[in-house]
């Protein structure tokens, strides 16, 4: 069963991930599941279909296939 996560915590987690923190690190630091984090990122997809996570990677100059 899914547990409710405070909107403030959700914003903190998403902000950290968008600023370069890995989802695995955010999972441990904030105590939320990686599935929840990925779900939140998917929900924030923009109108072009690009997810918030992908937008963050693009801003950092990374591509999904570049490894880092």
The pTM score is: 0.66
- Domain with 11, as residue range(s), is 7-57
Cα–Cα dist 49/7, whole Å: 23
Classified as helix, coil or strand, 41 is helix
Q: For residue 48, is it within any domain?
A: yes
User: Once rounded to an integer, what is the mean pLDDT over residues 6-10?
Assistant: 92
At 29-52, the pLDDT tens digits run 999 998 998 888 878 776 567 677
Structure confidence at residue 4 as a pLDDT band (50, 70, 90)? confident
Give the count of domains, the chain: 1
Q: For residue 47, is it within any domain?
A: yes
The torsion angle over the Cα atoms of residues 43, 48, 52 and 57, rounded to 10 degrees, is 150
Q: For residue 67, is it within any domain?
A: no
Q: For residue 66, is it within any domain?
A: no
């Amino acid at each position: 069963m899914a547990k409710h996560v405070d909107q403030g915590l959700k914003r903190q987690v998403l902000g950290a991930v968008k600023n370069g923190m890995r989802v695995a690190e955010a999972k441990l630091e904030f105590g939320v599941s990686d599935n929840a984090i990925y779900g939140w990122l998917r929900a924030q997809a923009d109108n072009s279909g690009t997810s918030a996570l992908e937008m963050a990677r693009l801003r950092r100059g990374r591509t999904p296939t570049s490894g880092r």
